[in-house]
A and B are shown apart, each in its own frame.
Chain A
Amino acid sequence: MSRTRPVNCIIPPYILEKLLDSEDREERQAALDTLLVTARLRGERAIRASFSGAAAPGVGRRTVFDCEEDEFLANAVLARTEDGPESADASVNRAFDALGLTRDFYKEVFERNSIDGRGMRLDGYVHFGFQVKNAFWDGRQMLFGDGDGKEFSDLTGSLDVIAHELTHGVTDHTSGFEYHNQSGALNESISDVFGSLVKQWSLKQSAEEADWLIGADVYTPGIGGDALRSMKNPGHAFNNPKFGKDPQPDRMSKFVHLPDTWQGDNGAVHYNSGIPNKAFFLTAVRIGGFAWEAAGSIWYESLKASGPEDDFQDFATTTFQKAGELFTAGSHEQSAVLSAWREVEVPVKGVPVGVARVRSFAVDGNGGAGRMDGSAALAKQVSALNDKVETLAKDVAALKGAR
């Protein structure tokens, strides 16, 4: 399903306010940057293209090291730098390219400058240890094992896995979700959400077209069609004699309780992430179109607004609030968020009684005086915004001319 949204649904209201009110040059510039991002989201690449060369070099610069099957990063050998030549080693180049795609995704979709928002360098280590069946974020850099060829092939073979690991760094620098129990499962889910979005964005897939799988390219290379996790269908990513059946829950009534220890996966963080993963999937398909646009923006803004100890209900409530701020209360997008969390049995706090009613008004078109006022106000808002967009478009043209 592809939907054309009115412009007020794409530019968040708080940016609208800046657009409408600001006399300040810097603020106008910030608004302009945002406009460029939003313009890009709508496929208007031409505007952005005129700026692609304007990005300062040295933001999120990549360096890939070869561990040569050692576990000690100090012994690793420099294999590829941001400006250096391609490596003869495919693992090095895959890691380099995937780190670049993930960095570009955050920059172009969310205007985020690397992991910390301030251009932090991206260091990746390939061939980590002997046949290590894992990829991880150590708090500063990303490490990728070669796999054993049975459970996993070379972990650099999966863009969503690499983006998953880099996103752990982004979470560290935003919500800081603590890595145990529900906040830990949210931490894991955020990495799956943005890991999958990076892949969808790179393939230009709509929510309907995407496979919503994590690790499909590297998990059990001998078995086709399976993956480590499925956001669309948690609990059904794999089913094989050696590893059994995917144990991820897709709703609160199936929540997995394990001890908050290494052996208990820090309180089942890689299990219960299935619940918020499914909520994101449902939100994205119900909104339709490209998942990184509306659903991704709601989740990204919510990540930035969340705290280290937030649980599922807190995060669900934050996404509901952010959907209201970004797309107006009672919007299609906010309703999608609400229905998604309801389906996975996570209650959302503070849902106004009127939300459902506002929604039904919009659907059945049975507008009273109040609705007419709302529509008139909205039309006025859109009209004012259009004026500003035109002004900004002129700014863009002027800047383009100045280059």
Chain B
Amino acid sequence: MKVALRTYGGLAAVLDPRRPPQVLDTDALPEAAAAELARLLAAAGSMPEEDTDGRARDAMSYTITAEDGDRVTVLEQSDAAMTPAFAALLTWLRKHFAQR
């Protein structure tokens, strides 16, 4: 499974075009990490999105795409309104990409 994280907006939104998606392949992960990521993805996908009240300014938004064969899951949420499951997934990905 390929998982990609794209980040948009925020105080430095003008850098968006210069922020390539961060991508990982679960085949390259240790088994436990791959299982953990799959669990986080499933949890984030099953939790209904929070409504944004539109009052946030400079908030970042995130698109997480998981591609498993023909099955593509796209999750999109913002700092302004984020489910706990999406936040957990995002933090996991951030920590993973920070290590590299």
Contacts and interface: CB of A to CB of B under 8 A. Distances in A.
Interface residues of B, number: 32
A134 B79 contact: yes
Contacts of A138: 55-56, 59, 79-80
B48 interface: no
A44 B52 CA distance: 47
* Interface SS of chain A: loop
Contacts of B90: 71, 129
Interface stretch (B10-18, B32-40, B66-74): B10-18
* Interface SS of chain B: mixed
A134 B60 contact: yes
A96 interface: no
Contacts of A247: 14
Given A71-B91, A262-B8, A262-B78, A243 B18 contact: yes
Contact of A139 (B17, B18, B53, B84): B53
A87 to B, nearest CB: 24
A186 B17 CA distance: 22
Contacts of A131: 94, 98
B18 to A, nearest CB: 5
A136 B8 contact: no
Contact of A265 (B9, B55, B80): B9
Interface of A: 69, 71-72, 129-140, 143, 148, 151-152, 155, 161, 164-165, 168, 172, 179, 187, 191, 215, 219, 228, 242-244, 246-248, 262-263, 265-266, 269-271
Interface of B: 8-18, 53-61, 76, 78-80, 82, 84, 87, 90-91, 94-95, 98
Given A138-B55, A143-B79, A219-B12, 5 more contacts: A71-B79, A71-B90, A179-B57, A262-B78, A266-B9
